[in-house]
């Protein structure tokens, strides 16, 4: 058996993945490949809850601080970067462990869906919407039927948003959108690393929400607002994709003086809870995840359970 299997530790925001992953990595001699779409940005340390310098001294980490906040980074760049990191770790005879909660990155890396589907194109969209206004939604649906009967069958004749997206993809790639779906309607499965061991941390919803809240206060105490002020002083625009990520978006409004701290906290908590629910919905539809309930357990207890799960599977 060539290299050790890949280990993946995922879970919703604030469930405690980072602290658990450090103990697990030390126990099984692993190095960590981060799977977090905000941790890739330099200078965004507090709000992205990156592993601390102490934690990174204990366990080597990859794909943290990859680009500046105004440089492009996306899932199509993440997948080859992560594959390269995993290979390097394996070549040194270590265990590779992917840790994070960015579901788009996780599914692209593990399930290997076709990337990239064409990016949104405002001009094509505008033209198609205007056409729909003149000729009606069914007119566009009929056009879709001609180029992609499979998609036309799946997409309701009145679902203008999806019809437009399907036509837009066809115009840009010359391929029907259904060509990118392969398996999108079947249960997701591990394609790129078929024998990966994927462990998910979850806890009771009420507890997760209170962890989200207490983490917010902890990050604010550690100087999150000062970090944002510094980013703005360095000339990074609040409109950047990085600065519009969860938490940065809300607390930038506080730093700019548009919102009170109280309002920033309220908005952040509302959005973070909605984000956790979306993550949980995504995770729940992944049959390959083995779940560990962390409710009322210490970091050490959870890490022990993860390690014993790894050893069972490897044994």
Same domain, 217 and 308: yes
Same domain, 15 and 128: no
Strand segments (E) across 156-277:
197-202
Same-domain pairing of 62 and 81: yes
Domain match, 99 and 126 both: no
Write the pLDDT tens digit of every residue in 106-124: 988 998 765 556 777 888 9
Residue carrying structure tokens 């007119």: 139
Taking residues 166-182, what's their average pLDDT? 83
275 found inside a domain: yes
| Domain identity same for 133 and 106 | no
Query: Could you give the 3-state DSSP secondary structure of residue 198?
Result: strand
Residues 172 and 213 in one domain: no
Q: Same domain, yes or no, for 147 and 126?
A: yes
Q: Grade residue 1 by pLDDT with cuts at 50, 70 and 90.
A: very low
> Is 238 a member of any domain?
yes
- The closest of 284, 275, 272, 212 to 14, measured between CA atoms, is 212
Comparing C-alpha atoms, which of 29, 68, 36, 67 is closest to residue 51? Answer: 36
In this structure, the answer to whether residues 94 and 213 fall within a common structural domain is yes
Q: Which of 156, 180, 204 delimits the end of a domain?
A: 180
pLDDT in tens, 239-253: 999 999 999 999 999
Assess whether 80 and 159 both reside in one domain: no
Do both 175 and 261 map to the same domain?
Answer: no
Q: Is 172 contained in some domain?
A: yes
Cβ pair 11, 44 in contact under 8 A:
no
How many domains is the chain built from? Answer: 2
Q: Could you tell me the residue range of the domain that residue 76 belongs to?
A: 7-113+195-314
Q: CATH no. for residue 211?
A: 3.40.50.300
Q: How is residue 114 written in tokens? A: 């076709």
Same domain, 76 and 203: yes
122 vs 202: CA distance, rounded Å:
38
% residues pLDDT > 70 (the chain): 96
In order, the DSSP letters of 275-308 are: HHHHHHHHHHT-TTEEEEE-TT--HHHHHHHHHH
Average pLDDT, the chain: 92
CA 9/CA 131 separation, integer angstroms = 46
Task: Report the share of the chain in percent with pLDDT over 90.
Answer: 76
205 in the same domain as 99? yes
* DSSP secondary structure code for residue 35 in this structure: E
Give domain status of residue 188, yes or no.
Answer: no
Q: Is the pLDDT of residue 302 over 50?
A: yes
pTM of this prediction? Answer: 0.80
């Amino acid at each position: 058996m060539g290299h050790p299997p890949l280990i993946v530790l995922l879970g919703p925001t604030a469930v405690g993945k980072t602290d658990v992953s450090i103990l697990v990595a030390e126990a099984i001699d692993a190095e960590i490949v981060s799977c977090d779409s905000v941790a890739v940005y330099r200078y965004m340390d507090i709000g992205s809850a990156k592993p601390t310098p102490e934690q990174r001294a204990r366990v080597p980490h990859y794909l943290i601080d990859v680009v500046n906040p105004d440089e492009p980074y996306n899932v199509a760049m993440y997948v080859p970067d992560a594959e390269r990191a995993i290979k390097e770790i394996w070549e040194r005879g270590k265990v590779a462990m992917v840790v994070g909660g960015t579901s788009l990155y996780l599914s692209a890396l593990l399930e290997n869906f076709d990337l990239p589907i064409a990016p949104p194109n405002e001009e094509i969209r505008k033209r198609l919407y205007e056409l729909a206004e003149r000729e009606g939604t069914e007119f566009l649906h009929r056009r879709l039927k001609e180029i992609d009967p499979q998609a036309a069958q799946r997409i309701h004749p009145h679902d203008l948003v999806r019809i437009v997206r399907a036509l837009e993809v066809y115009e840009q790639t010359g391929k029907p959108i259904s060509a990118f779906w392969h398996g999108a309607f079947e249960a997701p499965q591990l394609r790129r690393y078929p024998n990966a061991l994927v462990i998910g941390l979850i806890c009771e919803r009420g507890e997760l929400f209170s962890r989200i809240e207490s983490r917010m206060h902890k990050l604010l105490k550690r100087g999150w607002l000062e970090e944002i002020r510094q980013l703005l002083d360095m000339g990074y625009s609040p409109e950047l994709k990085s600065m519009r990520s969860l938490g940065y978006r809300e607390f930038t409004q506080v730093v700019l003086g548009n919102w009170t701290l109280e309002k920033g906290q309220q908005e952040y908590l509302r959005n973070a809870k909605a984000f956790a629910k979306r993550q949980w919905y995504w995770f729940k539809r992944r049959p390959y995840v083995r779940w560990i309930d962390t409710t009322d357990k210490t970091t050490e207890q959870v890490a022990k359970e993860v390690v014993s799960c790894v050893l069972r599977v490897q044994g």
